[in-house]
Amino acid sequence: MTISASRRWVMHVDMDQFIAAVEVLRNPALAGKQVVVGGRGDPTERGVVSTASYEARAFGVGSGMPLRVALRKLPDAIFLPVDAEAYTAASKSVMDTLRSLGVVVEVMGWDEAFLGVDTADPVSFARSVHDAVFAATGLHCSVGVGDNKLRAKIATDFGKPQGIYMLTKENWFEVMGERTTDALWGIGRKTAKKLAVLGITTVSELASTDDGLLATAFGSKNGPWIGTKGRGVDDSPVSAEPWVARSHSREATFQQNLTDWVAVRQEIRRLARRVRDDLLAEKRQAVRVTLKIRYAPFETHTTTAALAAPTFDVDTIVDAAAALVDRLDHAREVRLLGVRLEMTPPIDQTLAKRAGEESCT
């Protein structure tokens, strides 16, 4: 592609094996080793892998895997506990560096961000992004370059590790056309399976599917939206507005399965109280409660219910969470429980503050 005039590009910056890389930075002796980070760092305990080094990933160890499974795959791996404060500090350094480049930065999490960049040479600019981050933090990143967020996000994976890849309208179908639909950002395995039932298995097939058929199968709004993914269309802007949480949650993993459902209900009530306190600190009321359960050995389900009205009232919130226990399979053993509370949006903070003060009187 010949590039001469300056234009707006979207870049997706994704830190390479971020958590593991931070641990290596703190302890260079870990470089090149099979490193697994998760839980309290004890693979004999229940917990899941937060991340693994590339050396560990080569043997099938990845995020979300039970630590005990990771131990069976890699008995000689180095297991480390999660240190959220260290990762938060490293992330801040990365994002501050990106902002110093004079571009629009939309933070997407600890280890990734979108950039809105005006340049005539996006590949050179992407290289300068990598070099600036490495110089400031000692951490490597990969950069996806695109003409929208969707393409930039997907491009990053083609560049990993430490690489740069460009994905635009011009090469979209050449690169993505024959790939399965779950290769698209926003299309998960469940959606891909439903598409396959309709005879849609590749990106090209999805792109050429009539929106009416997709609307019938997935809904009037969601169906056509899925179709845009196949065509590589994404009109969402890169925004520097701070990310605002929609919910807060708390979880507990039990080293021994819970079989007493009185104890299950008590644990749910305890977790609900803790999350309600998190909402008070943010001055945003609860509007919906979701219960997460992981049955033994490792099967996860969720159930949810809207609250009658936004509230900080602890009894209302706790009772609503506990009521969801009635929907669960009481014949099964429980290894994990979690409670999530969705909140009122930030524009309701004044109302939430008033309600919070009234609930505490």
Question: Could you tell me how far CA 63 lies from the centroid of its own chain?
Answer: 11
Angstrom CA distances, 62 to 16, 34, 37, stand at: 14, 12, 10
Active site residue 170: no
Rounded Cα distance, 295 and 305, in Å: 20
Q: Which of 112, 205, 267, 342 is catalytic?
A: 112
Of 99, 103, 132, nearest to 116 (Cα)?
103
184-190: long-range contacts, CB 8 A cutoff, minimum separation 24: 184/150, 184/154, 184/229, 184/230, 185/150, 185/153, 185/154, 185/229, 186/150, 186/229, 187/226, 187/229
**Which residue in the block uniquely carries the two structure tokens 């094996």?**
17
CB atoms within 10 A of CB 11: 27
Rounded Cα distance, 343 and 283, in Å: 9
**Helices 189-197 and 211-218: angle between axes, nearest 10 degrees:** 120
Catalytic residue list: 112
